[in-house]
Amino acid sequence: MNSAKFFIARTFALVQTIFLLAALGAAQPAFAQKPSDLIRPGDRWLDNRGIQIQAHGGGIIHLGKTWYWFGEGRSQTNDPQKKYVACYSSNDLVHWTFRNQVLAIADPENLGARFVLERPKVFYNAHTKKFVMYMHLDNSSYKLARVAVAVSSKVDGTYTYVNSFRPLGLESRDIGQFIDDDGSAYLIFESRPTHGFYIAKLSGDYMSVEKQMSFVNAPLEGGAIVHLNGLYYALGSHLTGWRANPNVYATASSLSGPWSEMQNIAPPETNTYDSQSSMLIKVAGSKTTSVIYVGDRWTPSALWDSRYIWMPVEIGDGKLSLPQPQPWKIDVRTGVTTIVPDVKP
Minimal distance in Å, beta carbon 68 to ligand GAL?
A: 20
- Nearest to ligand GAL by Cβ — which residue? 241
* 167 DSSP 8-state letter: G
Backbone angles phi, psi at 305, to 5 degrees: -95, 10
Q: Looking at beta carbons only, is 90 or 306 nearer to ligand GAL? A: 306
Please tell me whether residue 221 binds ligand GAL under the rule CB under 6 A.
Answer: yes
Q: Looking at beta carbons only, is 177 or 276 nearer to ligand GAL? A: 276
The CB density around residue 184, as the number of other CB atoms within 10 Å, is 12
SS3 at position 55: coil
The CB density around residue 303, as the number of other CB atoms within 10 Å, is 16
Region 230-249 residues binding ligand GAL, contact defined as CB under 6 A: 241-242
Minimal distance in Å, beta carbon 327 to ligand GAL?
A: 26
Q: Looking at beta carbons only, is 83 or 119 nearer to ligand GAL? A: 119
User: Can you give the C-alpha Rg of the chain in angstroms?
Assistant: 23
SS3 at position 35: helix
8 A C-beta contact, residue 144 and residue 138? yes
8 A C-beta contact, residue 70 and residue 121? yes
Q: Looking at beta carbons only, is 40 or 119 nearer to ligand GAL? A: 119
Please tell me whether residue 57 binds ligand GAL under the rule CB under 6 A.
Answer: yes
Region 118-137 residues binding ligand GAL, contact defined as CB under 6 A: 118-119
Rounded Cα distance between 63 and 61, Å, is: 6
8 A C-beta contact, residue 45 and residue 306? no
Minimal distance in Å, beta carbon 241 to ligand GAL?
A: 4
Closest CA to 277 of 199, 175, 184, 209: 175
Q: Looking at beta carbons only, is 236 or 257 nearer to ligand GAL? A: 236
Region 255-294 residues binding ligand GAL, contact defined as CB under 6 A: 276
Q: Looking at beta carbons only, is 124 or 197 nearer to ligand GAL? A: 197
Please tell me whether residue 58 binds ligand GAL under the rule CB under 6 A.
Answer: no
Site string for ligand GAL, 22-51 (x = CB under 6 A): ------------------------------
Burial of 165 (0-12, 13-18, 19+ CB in 10 A): middle
Q: Looking at beta carbons only, is 156 or 221 nearer to ligand GAL? A: 221
Rounded Cα distance between 339 and 344, Å, is: 15
Pick from 174, 257, 259, 310 the residue near ligand GAL by CB under 6 A.
174
Binding site for ligand GAL (CB under 6 A): 57, 118-119, 174, 221-222, 241-242, 276
